[in-house]
Amino acid sequence: MNCRLSPVVVHRAGGHRSGVAASHVRSRGREDVSDLTGGYNAYQLVSV
């Protein structure tokens, strides 16, 4: 599998640093990058 063809979702526990990381990945040429808004903690709250 060519990982350059797969979308990327960046997440951290709280969400702030994942936005920084996603911006960094985009600056390196990836266009299909998403940031999990609110982080994994927010995801867990709505996934129950």
Q: State pLDDT tens for residues 1-48.
A: 566 778 998 888 887 888 899 999 999 999 999 998 888 888 888 876
Predicted pLDDT at 29:
92
- Residue 36, Cβ density class (10 Å: 0-12 exposed, 13-18 middle, ≥19 buried): middle
Predicted pLDDT at 23:
94
Residue 21 lies in a domain: yes
Strand partners, 33: 8
Our separate counts of H helices and E strands in the chain read: 2, 2
In whole angstroms, what separates CA 23 from the centre of its chain? 9
Residue 23 lies in a domain: yes
Predicted pLDDT at 1:
59
Residue 37 lies in a domain: yes
Residue 2 lies in a domain: no
Name the token pair of 39.
Answer: 């982080």
Domain that holds residue 21: 9-46
Residue 3 lies in a domain: no
Residue 35 lies in a domain: yes
C-alpha torsion sign, points 41, 6, 27, 33:
negative
Q: How many domains does the chain have?
A: 1
